A and B are shown apart, each in its own frame.
Chain A
């Protein structure tokens, strides 16, 4: 009798159509991502309707590729997982309905997965979790500090009050006339510059683990505008480096303070901005000689993928969670609520 557990997961919350197969919660057997980024570049951002169209075009191709890569069939799967939210509703709907189609056709259990839970569980593909742990989630839509005292137990102890860090990156990239997506472009530029401009850091009230990036964004706008009027010029490399320095300093300092305040054993960095080399370097330095172990997923697990959804879904499946045939897309799904439902 073979007691290995296999789960196939689908992710379509934004602009990647992805399918993965995972064994026993942490062993990745297949991981296929069909990116659409080229289709959205000319619009300077993800166009929801175009994203949804690509998903429906790619979904069965991606499924087939993933099973081929795994060298398995749907017979071998114990359950089907899918991102139910948050994300673009039309995009999510393709994945959710495809997952339901497969699960119903083969009479397999169905598990709905929170996209951010997925980003956090990406780290578990590398190293077993030790609770309590703290996750710094940074992406285009999210900037938050999440405390986990156990599996699927999420407490948001700090979050952005305005823009997400990734949003600030995109806006500053546009100011500097960099191509979409702006984050990696700024990161590249920053590496060649010096943080000579002193942009503000939003620390907020003493003891708060919340973030705010809208002030920084305005400061960059004003600085460039004023400089232009005075005929001064900043090197774009230096603007990028100074902006990134401000973001990275706030993120790493707050993460460090929260890690100490909650006495966590591990610190996880999750989300697309976790691919930022400046942030990775600073966090490595910050946590080099501390009691907390720092887990940063490899680059391929920072951007959206289904491996992370499989990793989170397999845990929810083991915990006994089952979605009904009426599973829907939830574009604004709350992480704490989701965790509660998974544990009960």
Chain B
């Protein structure tokens, strides 16, 4: 079973090749540079280094968001069209779940999050076995932390946007808030592939980005309609 994993949903650009449950190649950058320009050369390089030809792939795994709208679509367009062209299954995995897997050895709750601006975050809550404890949301961080407070358990916060929220988190949760070192703050595409192996394949045409947020124009339109 050969899997190509693709994640361009946030700052991280991640590409991995997994062969028979072994991670044979993984490439991660965390720079704010054009994913559209860099993704396919990265895939090309990774496939060559691991001596994998496209027709040897059995599955594509893709991070379907939440994250940057455009970033999510770059990965999705690539993954979906490759799956279509090779006639192989594609599996979408939550970008938050991929990030949460960085906390796999933590005893307690795991809270991955991405900054969604204006005090809001894209986040969700997982247990040690990666079961969903609280569903993903686009939510005000203060409100979210109040909910975590009531759970009375240690929480591992995984995010490259940690510094923007760290103070607020510590205020709310005190000692129960745990922060990993820098190497664990970024989503890894190998975890994306391993998550995908546990999930049923998505239907190619109906696999969609999970934005967790309506377009601005639509929000405005709905507000006006309510008036």
Question: Contact residues of A with B, CB < 8 Å?
Answer: 42-43, 47, 49-50, 52-53, 55-57, 59-61, 63-64, 74, 89-90, 93-102, 104-107, 324-329
Contact = CB atoms under 8 A, between A and B. Distances in A.
B44 A101 contact: no
A41 B70 CA distance: 23
B54 A105 contact: yes
B105 interface: no
A102 B82 contact: yes
A60 B40 CA distance: 18
B82 A101 contact: yes
A43 B54 contact: no
A242 B202 CA distance: 55
A15 B65 CA distance: 23
A42 B224 CA distance: 12
Given A90-B70, A93-B74, A325-B44, A47 B85 contact: no
Interface in B68-108: 69-70, 73-74, 76-82, 84-86
Label chain B's interface by main secondary structure. helix
Nearest to B71: A93
Given A104-B54, A328-B37, A94 B73 contact: yes
A104 B70 CA distance: 21
24 contacts: A43-B217, A50-B218, A56-B76, A56-B77, A56-B208, A57-B208, A59-B80, A60-B81, A60-B204, A60-B205, A61-B205, A63-B84, A74-B85, A94-B73, A94-B77, A98-B81, A100-B40, A100-B78, A101-B84, A101-B85, A105-B54, A324-B41, A325-B41, A328-B36
B111 to A, nearest CB: 28
Contacts of A107: 54
Contact of B85 (A61, A95, A97, A106): A106
A327 B37 CA distance: 6
The 8 closest A-B pairs by CB, nearest first: A101-B81, A105-B85, A97-B77, A325-B40, A49-B215, A98-B81, A101-B82, A47-B217
Indicate the member of B40, B44, B217 with the most A CB atoms within 10 Å: B40
A52 B69 contact: yes
Given A49-B216, A56-B77, A97-B36, A105 B41 contact: no
Contacts of A89: 70
Nearest to A47: B217
Contact of A106 (B39, B54, B70): B54
A324 B84 CA distance: 21
B103 to A, nearest CB: 30
Interface string B33-72: 0101111110110000000001000000000000001100
Contacts of B44: 104, 325
A104 B48 CA distance: 12
Q: Range of interface residues on chain B?
A: 20 to 34
Given A93-B74, A97-B74, A56 B209 contact: yes
Interface string B197-220: 000000011001101000111100
Given A56-B209, A100-B40, A50 B80 contact: no
Indicate the member of A56, A57, A107 with the most B CB atoms within 10 Å: A56
B3 to A, nearest CB: 14
A52 B69 CA distance: 9
A325 B80 CA distance: 17
B209 to A, nearest CB: 6
Contacts of A64: 84, 205
A102 B43 CA distance: 13
B48 to A, nearest CB: 11
Contacts of B78: 97-98, 100-101
A102 B70 contact: no
A93 B36 contact: yes
Nearest to A97: B77
A102 B38 contact: no
A104 B82 contact: yes
A97 B39 contact: yes
Contacts of A94: 73, 77
B205 A43 contact: no
